[in-house]
Amino acid sequence: MKNTIYPLLLALLMFGLHAHAQAVLTVSGTVTDSQNGAPLPGVIVQQKNSQTGTLTDKDGKYSLTVPDEQAILVFRFIGYQTEEVKVGKKRTINISLKPDTRALQEVVVTGLSKQRNSVMIRGVASAPPASSMSYVSYEQLPHNTENYAYLKESTFQNAKKSPLSTFSIDVDRASYSNVRRFLNQGQKPPVDAVRIEEMLNYFTYDYPQPSGAAPFEVYTELAACPWNKENQLLHIGLQGKDIPTDKLPPANLVFLLDVSGSMSMPDKLPLLKAGMRLLVNELRPQDKVALVVYAGAAGLVLPPTPGNQKEKILQALDQLQAGGSTAGGEGIKLAYKIAEESFAKGGNNRVILGTDGDFNVGVSSDGEMTRLIEEKRETGIALTVLGFGTGNLKDSRMEQLADKGNGNYAYIDNILEAKKVFINEFGGTLFTIAKDVKLQLEFNPAHVKAYRLIGYENRTLQSEDFNDDKKDAGELGAGHTVTALYEIVPASAKSNSTGTMDDLKYQQSELSKKATASNEILTLKLRYKEPQGTESKLISSTVLAGSFKKNTSDNFRFAAAVASFGMLLRESEFKGDASYAQVLELAQGAQGKDTEGYRAEFIRLVKSRSLLSEKR
């Protein structure tokens, strides 16, 4: 009897194990953009009608366990068409998502009462299933308290009366990603949200790498202005020296994370945590990370921890929850205290603030917060500000804090932007190669009647500030590019862009013989300091009349496209003949390599804005 039962039990056991193995399947693959083949990180991959799901990693890859071959995978990503695929016999499912132009006219809003239904994916709350989402127009969003500083557009300056133009560089990119957020929601951004210099500097350009002792190279190009053929457009580019990540000095990073109630929405703290996960994977053993949080009070969640203890960092990150009012001032004080205690001599010491900027308890006035940041920057610790969310974004406050903290400001509207900030630009964002970088252009009135710096309105300096080493200016990071454009009215032009003025009574304004005999259009001077230096170094070059180009570079045409798009969004009085059709023509003809697909995305945004403009 025993001889019969044991084989039978063994057979039943083996059958059960086989059936169980058959019932659990692992499916993996890669999700890419159908237009340019670029991998899409942060795509939600979910088993239909279940709570099982995951996110694609920085390379667009995923792996998911499903119960059987009848399972259906749903691929969802903001701005793309949702795809559904039955597993069947396939164990590798690669998907190319198509951009969804319809999504540009809608915004997905998840009610707070429905957040319990959201899918928990690796400790990050993602958007709930499509069945629990509601679609409303942007104007219907309640309590919209977003704040943008008034921006008075720069005007043409008479080269004879005001020959000097002085400004600080700007490597902030927040305006472009914020403008993109509005356009993806089918809305025209507020005029003051459009800062053209930040739109220009969102993109990288193919400038030559530095060849001399200076940490950057200066590039210029002069050609006809696309939106006003009578004028000229001067393109100025700075290229910071590339430093491989493994050659960067140790990083001492203190993340100051806003976990107040205003950060509970999926595009705030959950997105911030997802972005930080990407960064944690890139940390080196010599790097240190600390986590400080603030809501009603500030607290240390993770003391400075080496970058090779990734599980410890991720575990602390996953425990974060949003709730309470915001005491930003107390959090900043504690973050700087931790950064000072773990200061890395010769390293990259930085506080990274992730918030929507809605400080409403404690040190909350812009003046108090600015003075606090100015005081702390003297310790050699920089401040990077990362903005998140919609409805209560305090853009003006966050930009000001980053400027005063010798840092930079970025707005993160999706996981792709998080990848750009935390991974693609890790070195440039976090390691400064030159500080207090200022430019001064002297225009030769013999060749230039008037000029206008496009953008940089809140970066202009007084002429005497150029030689004042105590005057704070912008920082340049490793591998960063900085781009600026001037529209120039030639001396021979018939138009009068600056109006008329009476001749001066007490001084002469006649040109010198040297000016009239020279073929120099302008002299460009640049001052910068070494990261730990106190005295500036001077670089000088000239732009000659003979350098005018008929055949322009991709750099020139794409930057011109971005600038003219910004002027159209601002409804600028200086937009001339600019149109969306012209912007598209310039951009499509200057897409270049575009390995990350940022320029292709810009073209899609212009197309969508053009369609919306036609409808209205």
Q: What's residue 324's pLDDT?
A: 57
HSE-CB at 486 with a 13 A cutoff on CA atoms is: 30
Is 6's pLDDT higher than 70?
no
- Dihedral pair phi/psi, residue 537, rounded to 5°: -115, 150
Residue 51 in contact with residue 39, Cβ under 8 Å?
A: no
Q: How far is CA 415 from CA 11, 55, 274, 508, in A?
A: 50, 10, 7, 59
Q: Which domains does the chain have, with CATH numbers?
A: 20-140 (2.60.40.1120), 157-243+433-494+513-615 (2.60.40.1230), 246-422 (3.40.50.410)
Q: Is residue 366 helix, strand or coil? A: helix
Name the pLDDT band for 126 (thresholds 50, 70, 90). very low
Is 117's pLDDT higher than 80?
no
Distance (Å, whole) CA 127 – CA 220: 46
Residue 578 in contact with residue 564, Cβ under 8 Å?
A: yes
Q: What's residue 111's pLDDT?
A: 28
Residue 448 in contact with residue 365, Cβ under 8 Å?
A: no
Q: What's residue 119's pLDDT?
A: 31
Do you know the residue count of the chain? 616
Q: What mean pLDDT is predicted for residues 319-337?
A: 75
> What does the pLDDT look like over 58-71, one tens digit per residue?
788 899 999 999 99
Name the pLDDT band for 139 (thresholds 50, 70, 90). very low
Strand partners, 216: 240
Q: What mean pLDDT is predicted for residues 487-496?
A: 89
> What does the pLDDT look like over 389-404, one tens digit per residue?
888 888 888 888 888 8
Per cent of the chain over pLDDT 70 is: 83
- Average pLDDT in the chain: 83
Residue 76 in contact with residue 57, Cβ under 8 Å?
A: no
Contacts within 8 Å (CB) and 24+ apart, 397-401: 397/147, 397/357, 397/359, 397/366, 397/369, 398/174, 398/353, 398/355, 398/357, 399/149, 399/172, 399/174, 400/149, 400/366, 400/370, 401/353, 401/369, 401/370, 401/373
Distance (Å, whole) CA 336 – CA 319: 22
> What does the pLDDT look like over 65-116, one tens digit per residue?
999 999 999 998 766 788 999 999 999 999 999 876 444 333 332 222 333 3
- Dihedral pair phi/psi, residue 389, rounded to 5°: 90, 175
More confident residue, 145 or 449: 449
Is 7's pLDDT higher than 60?
no
| CA end-to-end distance (rounded Å), the chain | 86
Q: HEC string of 368-413?
A: HHHHHHHHHHCCCCEEEEEECCCCCCEHHHHHHHHHHCCCCEEECC
Structure tokens of 345?
A: 């001599």
Distance (Å, whole) CA 96 – CA 517: 61
Q: How far is CA 32 from CA 40, 62, 96, 381, 571, in A?
A: 5, 12, 5, 38, 35
> What does the pLDDT look like over 249-273, one tens digit per residue?
899 999 999 888 878 888 888 889 9
Residue 176: CB atoms within 10 A of its CB come to: 26
Q: What's residue 258's pLDDT?
A: 86
Name the pLDDT band for 14 (thresholds 50, 70, 90). low
Q: What's residue 55's pLDDT?
A: 76
Q: What's residue 168's pLDDT?
A: 96
Residue type, 125: A
Return the axis-axis angle of helices 174-184 and 598-615, rounded to nearest 10°. 50
Give the range among 30-39, 141-150, 416-425, 583-592 with minimum mean pLDDT: 141-150
Name the pLDDT band for 442 (thresholds 50, 70, 90). very high
Q: What DSSP line would sit under 81-117, residue for residue?
A: --EEEE-TT-SB--EEEPB-GGGGG-EEE--GGGGGG
Name the pLDDT band for 3 (thresholds 50, 70, 90). low
Is 550's pLDDT higher than 70?
yes
Is 213's pLDDT higher than 90?
no
H or E, element range at 456:
none
Give the range among 2-6, 14-18, 595-599 with minimum mean pLDDT: 14-18
Closest CA to 335 of 349, 321, 317: 349
- Dihedral pair phi/psi, residue 443, rounded to 5°: -90, 140
Distance (Å, whole) CA 390 – CA 106: 14
Residue 229: CB atoms within 10 A of its CB come to: 10
Q: What mean pLDDT is predicted for residues 205-234?
A: 94
Structure tokens of 499?
A: 């109006």
HSE-CB at 586 with a 13 A cutoff on CA atoms is: 24
Q: What's residue 424's pLDDT?
A: 82
Q: What mean pLDDT is predicted for residues 499-503?
A: 71
HSE-CB at 32 with a 13 A cutoff on CA atoms is: 13
Distance (Å, whole) CA 447 – CA 547: 13
Q: What mean pLDDT is predicted for residues 497-524?
A: 81
Closest CA to 224 of 559, 576, 548, 579: 548
Is 533's pLDDT higher than 80?
yes
Is 407's pLDDT higher than 70?
yes
Give the range among 92-101, 203-212, 352-361, 509-518 with minimum mean pLDDT: 352-361
Name the pLDDT band for 212 (thresholds 50, 70, 90). confident
> What does the pLDDT look like over 264-323, one tens digit per residue?
888 888 889 988 988 888 899 999 999 998 876 668 899 999 999 999 999 999 888 876
Q: What's residue 15's pLDDT?
A: 47
Give the range among 20-34, 193-207, 351-365 with minimum mean pLDDT: 351-365
Q: How far is CA 589 from CA 454, 593, 599, in A?
A: 22, 12, 11
Structure tokens of 497?
A: 């862009």
Structure tokens of 134?
A: 């509601």
Residue 603 in contact with residue 585, Cβ under 8 Å?
A: no
Distance (Å, whole) CA 122 – CA 273: 10
Residue 412 in contact with residue 275, Cβ under 8 Å?
A: yes
Q: What's residue 143's pLDDT?
A: 52
Return the axis-axis angle of helices 580-588 and 554-570, rounded to nearest 10°. 160
Q: Is residue 343 helix, strand or coil? A: coil
Rounded to a whole number of angstroms, the CA Rg of the chain reads: 27
- Dihedral pair phi/psi, residue 314, rounded to 5°: -65, -35
Strand partners, 459: none
Q: What's residue 23's pLDDT?
A: 57
CA torsion 317→322→326→329, rounded to 10°? Answer: 0
Q: What's residue 109's pLDDT?
A: 29
Closest CA to 10 of 18, 224, 423, 201: 18
Distance (Å, whole) CA 434 – CA 593: 28
Q: Is residue 457 helix, strand or coil? A: helix
